[in-house]
Structure 1
Amino acid sequence: MIGVNEDPTGSTASARADLVLPCLDEAEALPWVLGRLPEGWRAIVVDNGSTDGSADLARGLGATVVHESRRGFGAACHAGLLAATAPYVCFCDCDGSLDPALLPGFVARIAAGESDLVLGRRRPQSRGAWPAHARAGNLALSRMLRSRTGLRLRDLGPMRAARREALLDLHLTDRRSGYPLEMVVRAADAGLRVTETDVPYLARTGRSKVTGTWRGTWQAVRDMRAVLNAPPAPSATSPAPSSGPAEVTR
């Protein structure tokens, strides 16, 4: 059974939300992550080609499992967004570095009209939680984002929340490491209010598949630089590009 009746932020919000968890070989972390799911929420675990039994484990723990064959963080995240049905959609890494139990506070800020897109600003809890190469890449991107949009964000982490329809209206197209940044850039271009709130950042469980090395980090930075150099987003009335179907199992 998954779900916790806990809101460390002190919020009393009870808004229903779907939590998208992009997953690539995270069997070791999944029990803890799914155990921290807020009560009444649905976990959508998007399996992106795992070979360690992550999909079966997630299904056995009560999550909805979406199979996305196209490799890429953005591909997995967007497949989860398309599978979501709740009024609010949250995103979180599936490696145990971030606590999903904090997300009701994010949703509460949106429901109260204080923000349209809430990001979690990661605050490392140990020396090894956020390696130097990952911090350097994040700092570079924050500066580029400020130049592009004027937003003074200190982190572009994966933990975030927004209304589902608002996210769909952004017509996100990146399917690699640029997806989280594209979400912020297009939200800013659309006039949405983007805010951040501090969250504890723990040492991940297992090996990083993207930013575990300098090479991986700078590949992600290159993907995100391409997002910053892209033309403005289409209007909300433009048809969203198709990503193809993803297989959903429960």
Structure 2
Amino acid sequence: MPTSTDAIELSIVMPCLNEAETLAVCIDKAQGYLARSGVVGEVIIADNGSTDGSQDIARAHGARVVDVPAKGYGSALMGGIEAARGEYVIMGDADDSYDFSKLDPFVERLRAGDELVMGNRFKGGIAEGAMPPLHKYLGNPVLSWIGQVLFRSPIGDFHCGLRGFNRRSILNLHLQTTGMEFASEVVVKSTLGGLRVSEVPTTLDKDGRSRPPHLRSWRDGWRHLRFLLIFSPRWLFLIPGVVAFFVGFLGAFLLAIGPVELGDVGFDVSSQIYLAALAVVGYQAILFAILTKIYAQHEGFNIPRSRNFDRLEKRISLESGALVGLFLFLVGLGIAIWQFSVWAASGFGAQDPSSTLRTAVLAALFMMLGAQTIMAGMFLGALKVGLRRE
């Protein structure tokens, strides 16, 4: 144990929720590493409400227990990180699946200036039965690949539970999530924040618990995916929305003039209706992309900014949205009024259903786009209301 005058270099933090079966061996390995390496450090157990005596076991083996009342994996870890006194933090699960006696690669990279050092289980080795096939061949590789593509991250194993980081650098990221998606948030925000990120091979052993793990494959996998997508509204909403809107709008407009034939395939009113619906959905996705990005930045999520978006954000407001929406709605209403006047001039007689419907679809499309814009402007106004926060 370091004395009060020692400058602690490393804090080893383990989240804990009823880990009595494996906690002692994990702490002993961590304490053994500190003694063998000469690193001045401490072991912190961030307890999330254990009822099996884990707290007493931790204290008996020389660890410092931090009680974290807020539930969740992310909450427990943030409680431990905030309480840590070390310059560096290495976090890992207390289920004996990671070997806390072999932390040299992490410490070396942290001392070299890296601010986040991730373990990579696929490079270091996964023991038989240590990871379910669903996680090994689908969940972890797919989610890590999505993270690499969306955020240009160099990390190949987004969800490795053993990782080290510069404590101050991570606290400056203002991490928000409380559940298992905390693992993704650390990597994503570190990458977006320009931190020096690296990875080292690490091993994963079969955990020593007799009970099932806290992790729930589909629920927690979805939470990770949801987090990655929310942090990338460009790929979730904007790009699909732009494509859908322009294809739908252009197609609906051309078919309002008359039928279109491409080779042996003909497109008419029924196609126009579907294309108009596609345009509405695409436009909604574009609005969602803008609103999601503004909301995320408003709540402190460090989604990457761009000059174009900053200029757009300054120009859009409840009032500008209402004006643009009103203009679009009036265009549609004007087309509808013109169509009605033509009908009235003919003595309200029978009309050609095909040509009438073409014009009606176009009018309805403009009115729907206008209404969507007005409502989006109102929601934007609610997002931009200044609130006093604790």
Indicate whether the TM-score tops 0.5: yes
Spell out, residue by residue over 1:138-181, the C-alpha distance to the aligned partner (whole angstroms, 9 max, x if none). Answer: 11210210122112422120111111100101100000011011
Residue correspondence of structure 1 range 3-42 to structure 2 within 5 A:
16-37=9-30, 38-39=33-34, 40-42=40-42
Greater percentage in helix: 2
1:129 counterpart letter in structure 2: A
What is the RMSD of the two structures over their aligned residues, measured on CA atoms?
2.1
1:49 Cα deviation from its structure 2 partner? 1.8
Confirm or deny: 8 A CA contact 2:8 2:85 kept in the other structure: no
TM-score between the two structures when normalised by the length of structure 2: 0.53
Matched residue, 2:132: 131
Greater percentage in strand: 1
- Quick check: 120-129 or 58-67, which moved more? 120-129
SS of equivalent residue, structure 1 residue 223: helix
Does residue 1:162 correspond to 2:165, yes or no? yes
Larger gyration radius, structure 1 or structure 2: 2
Confirm or deny: 8 A CA contact 1:15 1:108 kept in the other structure: no
Matched residue, 1:119: 118
Confirm or deny: 8 A CA contact 1:45 1:63 kept in the other structure: yes
1:193 Cα deviation from its structure 2 partner? 2.2
Residue correspondence of structure 1 range 218-233 to structure 2 within 5 A:
218-228=218-228, 229-230=230-231, 231=296, 232-233=301-302
CA–CA distance in structure 2, aligned partners of residues 209 and 217 of structure 1: 10
Matched residue, 1:61: 61
Confirm or deny: 8 A CA contact 1:21 1:94 kept in the other structure: yes
- Quick check: 82-91 or 191-200, which moved more? 191-200
1:91 Cα deviation from its structure 2 partner? 0.4
CA–CA distance in structure 2, aligned partners of residues 166 and 35 of structure 1: 28
Q: How many residues align?
A: 220
1:87 counterpart letter in structure 2: E
- Quick check: 171-180 or 14-23, which moved more? 14-23
Spell out, residue by residue over 1:84-137, the C-alpha distance to the aligned partner (whole angstroms, 9 max, x if none). Answer: 111111101100000112223212212113x22111111445321111122222
Structure 1's 50 and 87: CA in aligned 2 closer, same or farther, altered over 3 A?
same
1:225 Cα deviation from its structure 2 partner? 2.0
CA–CA distance in structure 2, aligned partners of residues 87 and 55 of structure 1: 25
Matched residue, 1:95: 95
1:15 Cα deviation from its structure 2 partner? 7.6
Stretches of structure 1 that go unaligned for 5 or more consecutive residues are 2-13, 236-240, 243-250
CA–CA distance in structure 2, aligned partners of residues 15 and 56 of structure 1: 23
Matched residue, 2:145: 143
Matched residue, 1:8: none
Stretches of structure 2 that go unaligned for 5 or more consecutive residues are 2-6, 35-39, 232-295, 305-388
Amino-acid identity (%): 33
Structure 1's 32 and 134: CA in aligned 2 closer, same or farther, altered over 3 A?
same
Confirm or deny: 8 A CA contact 2:20 2:53 kept in the other structure: yes
Matched residue, 1:104: 104
1:203 Cα deviation from its structure 2 partner? 0.5
Matched residue, 1:209: 213
SS of equivalent residue, structure 2 residue 117: strand
CA–CA distance in structure 2, aligned partners of residues 223 and 199 of structure 1: 25
* RCO higher in structure (CA 8 A, sep ≥6): 1
Structure 1's 152 and 186: CA in aligned 2 closer, same or farther, altered over 3 A?
same
1:24 counterpart letter in structure 2: L
Confirm or deny: 8 A CA contact 2:26 2:100 kept in the other structure: yes
Runs in 1 of length 4+ with deviation above 3 angstroms?
none
Confirm or deny: 8 A CA contact 1:210 1:220 kept in the other structure: no
1:22 Cα deviation from its structure 2 partner? 0.3
Matched residue, 1:71: 71
Does residue 1:200 correspond to 2:200, yes or no? no
Confirm or deny: 8 A CA contact 1:124 1:130 kept in the other structure: no
SS of equivalent residue, structure 1 residue 174: coil
